[in-house]
Structure 1
Amino acid sequence: MIYWLYELRNWLESTGVISDDAFVYKLLNIFKYHTFRAGGAAITAFFLSLMFGDRLIRKLISLKIGQPIRTAEEVHKLFELHGKKAGTPTMGGILILGTIVVSTLIWAKWDNIMMWNILFCTIGLGALGFRDDYLKISKKNSKGVSARTKLVWQTSVAVITALVFCYLVPTDATIDAASKANTSAFVQFGGDSTLRALFMPFYKGPIIADMSFIAVIFFTLIIVGASNAVNLTDGLDGLATGCSLTTAMAYTAFGYVSGSALYSNYLGVPHHALANEIPIIAMALAGACAGFLWFNAHPAKMFMGDTGSLALGGCIASIAIACRQEIVLALVGGVFVMEAASVIIQVISFKKRGKRVFRMAPIHHHFELGGWHENQVIVRFWILSFFFALMGLATLKLR
């Protein structure tokens, strides 16, 4: 919406109302730059969170929307560590979801189908999380939506998102002709290629030029997997929020490079002109996480619940797909991978051997039960997430 101010500048110039050396012309010109609008999206999301965070907490308390905690019989020693959190307002993911959507709509261009698809995935999975949280609170237990219903809903949203990416996003994006003519590597790195092409770190050009319908299945698995991984990570105050923040910052850089013909060709990464709006969404996500962390830091005044964690996972996954860095997500989101992998390993080991590998899964509980204070686990996992993000960004030059 803000971008329309730049369009207004063009109209004013064409009608002769202002000249190109006028102050108003120069002022309105800044709204065309993605970096400026990305920064604006982050600041907007952050301050919206601060403005409405306390109000939301008070509202959730008045509605008695508190976090149900699993009983001592279910989690044994962990109940002693987390039992005091019972009743803390949950469903705070409404704040994350709302600030992401509002700040994105304010600062991004509305004619970008990638932007709308990412928002669809984020809102769709956030709605599932909202339903799950509501059932947990109304029934006063930690079960919520059944596993089958949850999987069907996640898969449906993911399939629709994947289909749009694969078949509705233009393959022949509007590219600056000069940039296209300046390098023979342009087409090789995906300027005119479909989003169904598969790119791998350390390789120039796609390893598969067109995955066809397999791409829909692949993207669906990524979205469902990422949403569940972030959901599993959301077990300690600020853990999932902080890790999502570092991941969002990394994908801001990926989106900027992917959307720029100049930088993508220089670094040998896939380019698509419509990806130039990804930094705005990624920074809106980062600002929303930073604002929510203000209230979610230990000891948390509010939990995001599944409303936030499922939405965050969907948003991160769809951003990764949009800039064709979905494989790198396994590295950038390394903490999320650790958390999900620990649950898978624990379940397989217990079913096959009758023994547990970890004291408790997800793995953050393993370290808690090993004597680490909750704050130690959180901060150390944040540090790991930061370095995972740096390692992911390092792949940009290793091609």
Structure 2
Amino acid sequence: MIFLINKYLNFKIFNFISYRIMFSLLTSFFVNLFIGPYIISYFKKLQKFQIIRTNGPIEHLKKNKTPTMGGILIIISICLSVFLYCDLCNIYIWYVMSIILGYGLIGFLDDYKKIKFNNSSGLKILYKFFWLSIIAILIIYIMYINRENKINIELIIPFYRKAIVKINYFYIFLSYFVMVGTSNSVNLTDGLDGLAIMPVILISFGLGLISFLSSEIYLSNYINVFYSKQANELSVLCASIVGSGLGFLWFNTYPAKIFMGDVGSLSLGGALGIISILLHQELLLIIMGGIFVMETISVILQIFYFKFKKKRIFKMAPIHHHYEIKGLSETLITIRFWIISFILLLIGIISLRMHNAI
């Protein structure tokens, strides 16, 4: 809104995207800090507490009085920053916000059902998967018919400048897999205090950097990114996710005062997925989001191995619970996963330039 008003008032500071990025990050951060205590107190009064799995680690039972659905706080702060500082005429912004709000609604219904019926199951898996898929397919179809490149769609291979694959119609299937898969991966990772939100912050920073570079033709040619005039506004949106994530982490670090719930994990995961699709960096997301990939693979391996061998590879899946049961403290696991996520972010950023040496 400020961006649009500025076209008439002409405050020079808002003509520079770097300032809008900074204001977007700070606004979402301080909005979280300001309204966070009120939401936590309100949810405690309503007794909107996290439903703890009875078959999970015993230590988690003490968290049954911790409020959940903190993702509402994240979504509010992101929406406010986007509304204030992004160019609302940019179609990319509406793609991402549609996923955040749509997946957030599904997550909200899932959390609400868990609380109402005092059951950790929530929505039926097929029912939740169906609605996630419907929203993803609808957005992907709109993106496909409104794409900038009407001839073909390119998939950029990290580390190799000339390794660009024309995927065309396969784009629809790949985009669906990335969007729904990332959403569920973040959801699986959100099992320890602060575990999921830090990788989200780091990946958002990386994607924000790429979106900023993608909108400059000389910079996009210099590194291995796809040039897009509209991508610059994604850097402002990514900044709002970073700021909101940092603000939420203020309350979500051990011992957590609130959990994000499915309303937060599904919406944030979906946002990361669609931003990577818009930037043609789906494969880079796999590198930077290696923690989410690892968590998802651990669940898949556990299910299939138990189905065929009647044995478990891990003491419990996702893999962060495996290390918990082995005796590692929650904070130790979380911080080590943060470190791994940071290293993966650096590897992803390095891959943008490493192609010149290969």
TM-score, normalised via structure 2 length: 0.96
**Match of 1:315, SS?**
helix
Q: Please give the residue correspondences for 1:28-47 in structure 2 after superposition, counting only pairs within 5 Å.
A: 28-47=11-30
* Residue 377, structure 1, aligned to residue 310, structure 2: no
Structure 1 residue 5: Cα displacement: 4.6
Q: In structure 2, give the amino acid aligned to 1:337.
A: V
Q: In structure 2, give the amino acid aligned to 1:3.
A: F
Q: Which residue in the other structure is 1:234 paired with?
A: 190
* Residue 223, structure 1, aligned to residue 179, structure 2: yes
Show structure 2 runs of 5+ residues with no match: none
The count of residues paired between Structure 1 and Structure 2 equals 355
Once residues 13 and 295 of structure 2 are traced to their aligned partners in structure 1, the CA distance between those partners, rounded to angstroms, is 42
Structure 1 residue 9: Cα displacement: 4.7
Structure 1 residue 164: Cα displacement: 2.4
Q: Given the alignment, which residue of 139, 155, 164 partners 1:198?
A: 155
Structure 1 residue 204: Cα displacement: 2.7
Q: In structure 2, give the amino acid aligned to 1:342.
A: S
**Match of 2:282, SS?**
coil
Structure 1 residue 30: Cα displacement: 2.1
Q: Residue 206 and residue 274 in structure 1: after superposition, are their counterparts in 2 closer, same or farther (change >3 A)? A: farther
Q: Which residue in the other structure is 1:176 paired with?
A: none
Once residues 4 and 260 of structure 1 are traced to their aligned partners in structure 2, the CA distance between those partners, rounded to angstroms, is 21
Structure 1 residue 205: Cα displacement: 5.0
**Contact in 2 for aligned 1:66/1:86 (Cα 8 Å):** yes
Once residues 150 and 360 of structure 1 are traced to their aligned partners in structure 2, the CA distance between those partners, rounded to angstroms, is 23
Q: Which residue in the other structure is 1:50 paired with?
A: 33
Structure 1 residue 39: Cα displacement: 1.1
**Contact in 2 for aligned 1:162/1:216 (Cα 8 Å):** yes
**Contact in 2 for aligned 1:242/1:289 (Cα 8 Å):** yes
**Match of 1:66, SS?**
coil
Larger mean Cα displacement after TM superposition, 43-52 or 161-170: 161-170
Q: Given the alignment, which residue of 211, 235, 249 partners 2:205?
A: 249
Q: Please give the residue correspondences for 1:101-180 in structure 2 after superposition, counting only pairs within 5 Å.
A: 101-171=79-149
* Residue 391, structure 1, aligned to residue 344, structure 2: no
Q: Which residue in the other structure is 2:3 paired with?
A: 3
Once residues 301 and 234 of structure 1 are traced to their aligned partners in structure 2, the CA distance between those partners, rounded to angstroms, is 15
Q: Which residue in the other structure is 1:353 paired with?
A: 309
Structure 1 residue 33: Cα displacement: 1.7
* Residue 208, structure 1, aligned to residue 208, structure 2: no
Once residues 107 and 294 of structure 2 are traced to their aligned partners in structure 1, the CA distance between those partners, rounded to angstroms, is 22
Once residues 269 and 205 of structure 1 are traced to their aligned partners in structure 2, the CA distance between those partners, rounded to angstroms, is 11
**Contact in 1 for aligned 2:28/2:243 (Cα 8 Å):** yes
Once residues 67 and 216 of structure 1 are traced to their aligned partners in structure 2, the CA distance between those partners, rounded to angstroms, is 36
Q: Given the alignment, which residue of 251, 263, 266 partners 1:295?
A: 251
Once residues 38 and 225 of structure 2 are traced to their aligned partners in structure 1, the CA distance between those partners, rounded to angstroms, is 44
* Residue 66, structure 1, aligned to residue 49, structure 2: yes
Q: Given the alignment, which residue of 291, 300, 303 partners 1:344?
A: 300
Show structure 1 runs of 5+ residues with no match: 11-27, 173-192
* Residue 84, structure 1, aligned to residue 70, structure 2: no
**Contact in 2 for aligned 1:205/1:270 (Cα 8 Å):** no
Structure 1 residue 386: Cα displacement: 0.6
Q: In structure 2, give the amino acid aligned to 1:208.
A: V
Q: Given the alignment, which residue of 247, 261, 264 partners 1:308?
A: 264
Structure 1 residue 157: Cα displacement: 1.2
**Contact in 2 for aligned 1:197/1:206 (Cα 8 Å):** no
**Contact in 1 for aligned 2:211/2:234 (Cα 8 Å):** yes
Q: Residue 105 and residue 171 in structure 1: after superposition, are their counterparts in 2 closer, same or farther (change >3 A)? A: farther
Once residues 161 and 53 of structure 2 are traced to their aligned partners in structure 1, the CA distance between those partners, rounded to angstroms, is 49
Structure 1 residue 312: Cα displacement: 0.7
**Contact in 2 for aligned 1:246/1:389 (Cα 8 Å):** yes
Greater Rg, structure 1 or structure 2?
1
Structure 1 residue 257: Cα displacement: 1.1
**Contact in 2 for aligned 1:278/1:323 (Cα 8 Å):** no
Structure 1 residue 4: Cα displacement: 2.5
**Contact in 1 for aligned 2:299/2:319 (Cα 8 Å):** yes
Q: In structure 2, give the amino acid aligned to 1:68.
A: I
Deviations 1:267-293 (A, max 9, x none): 142111000111111110011100001
**Contact in 2 for aligned 1:9/1:29 (Cα 8 Å):** no
Structure 1 residue 35: Cα displacement: 1.5
Once residues 334 and 51 of structure 2 are traced to their aligned partners in structure 1, the CA distance between those partners, rounded to angstroms, is 21
**Match of 1:208, SS?**
strand
**Match of 1:198, SS?**
strand
**Contact in 1 for aligned 2:155/2:281 (Cα 8 Å):** no
**Contact in 2 for aligned 1:3/1:109 (Cα 8 Å):** yes
Which structure would you say has the larger RCO, counting Cα contacts within 8 Å and 6 or more residues apart?
2
TM-score, normalised via structure 1 length: 0.86
* Residue 277, structure 1, aligned to residue 212, structure 2: no
Q: In structure 2, give the amino acid aligned to 1:32.
A: N
Structure 1 residue 48: Cα displacement: 0.5
Q: Where in structure 1 do 4 or more consecutive aligned residues deviate above 3 Å?
A: 169-172
